[in-house]
């Protein structure tokens, strides 16, 4: 069973990762590059070093130059591809582990439904409280956002599973409560007045990111179901 999950996840994840990479290059990266120009324009000019102070030290030091980032062009595209492939294979493992635990016979068509559930749990529900962010956008503390995102993804996935598979209405109601719980708790929020990116660009990025994520999850779910079915014992 484990080898079956690994094989199907690898093939589905690699294929879906390439699709995600193309979507990111076409839909998200151009918006990120535009946002970076606003972020750079909003940075205050570094003051000149005081007399007698070594250049590159003290208040005149440009700390932003110390932060590594991939160069625009081929290097950025290759790092994006690597990240998308790793992420897609990881999500495929989670998806097929859930399929195996359910005991259901899943093919490509039913895999689309599982993919929609993955989109709801890992993209749509977290974006309600924490929309995808561009460089230069004011955001809450990273650790707080990561904790809330993980809590929302787990609660949504668990709630959808309970609502879909539980036979009794009471259990299904509990599933709805699980889905709503992180949003009742509330996501950590940043300060909107600190944002350097126009609201129109931020809204365009949210729409593009969610559209790309929906396509990715449908492709991943369909391929995962296809390879899962093909790898079934004769």
**For the CA atoms of 68, 73, 77, 79, what is the dihedral angle to 10 degrees?**
-20
Of the candidates 229, 200, 217, which has an alpha carbon nearest to the alpha carbon of residue 95? 217
Q: Cα–chain-centroid distance for residue 186?
A: 19
Give residue-wise pLDDT tens across range 132-154: 988 767 677 888 899 999 999 99
CB 122 within 8 A of CB 153: yes
Domain ranges of the chain: 2-139+190-230
Region of residue 186 (phi > 0: left; psi between -120 and 50: alpha; otherwise: beta)? left
Percent of the chain past pLDDT 70, that is, above it, reads: 83
105: alpha, beta or left? (left if phi > 0; alpha if psi -120 to 50): beta
C-alpha distances (whole Å) from 143 to each of 91, 110, 121, 140, 150 are 21, 36, 20, 9, 11
pLDDT for res 154: 95
pLDDT digits (tens, 9 = 90+) for 179-213: 999 999 988 886 655 567 788 888 999 999 999 99
pTM exceeds 0.85, yes or no: no
Q: Is 96 in contact with 229 (CB distance < 8 Å)?
A: no
Q: For the chain of 234 residues, list the mean pLDDT of each consecutive stretch of 10.
A: 91 96 93 81 54 44 53 81 96 95 90 96 94 78 90 94 82 88 87 69 93 97 95 75
């Amino acid at each position: 069973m484990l080898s079956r999950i690994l094989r199907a996840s690898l093939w589905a994840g690699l294929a879906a990762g390439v699709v995600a990479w193309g979507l990111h290059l076409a839909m998200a990266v151009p918006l990120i590059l535009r946002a970076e120009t606003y972020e750079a324009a909003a940075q205050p000019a570094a003051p000149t070093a005081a007399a007698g102070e070594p250049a590159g030290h003290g208040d005149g030091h440009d700390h932003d130059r110390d932060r590594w980032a991939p160069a625009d062009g081929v290097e950025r595209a290759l790092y994006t591809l690597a990240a998308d492939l790793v992420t897609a294979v990881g999500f495929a493992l989670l998806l097929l582990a859930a399929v195996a635990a359910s005991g259901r016979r899943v093919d490509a068509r039913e895999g689309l439904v599982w993919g929609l559930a993955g989109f709801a749990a890992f993209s749509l529900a977290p974006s309600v409280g924490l929309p995808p962010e561009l460089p230069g956008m004011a955001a809450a503390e990273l650790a707080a956002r990561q904790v809330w995102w993980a809590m929302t993804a787990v609660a949504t996935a668990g709630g959808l599973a309970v609502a879909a598979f539980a036979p009794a209405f009471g259990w299904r109601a509990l599933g709805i409560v699980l889905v709503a719980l992180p949003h009742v708790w509330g996501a950590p929020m940043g300060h909107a007045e600190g944002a350097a990116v126009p609201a129109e660009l931020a809204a365009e990025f949210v729409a593009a990111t969610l559209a790309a994520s929906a396509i990715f999850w449908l492709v991943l779910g369909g391929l995962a179901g296809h390879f899962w079915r093909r790898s079934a014992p004769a």
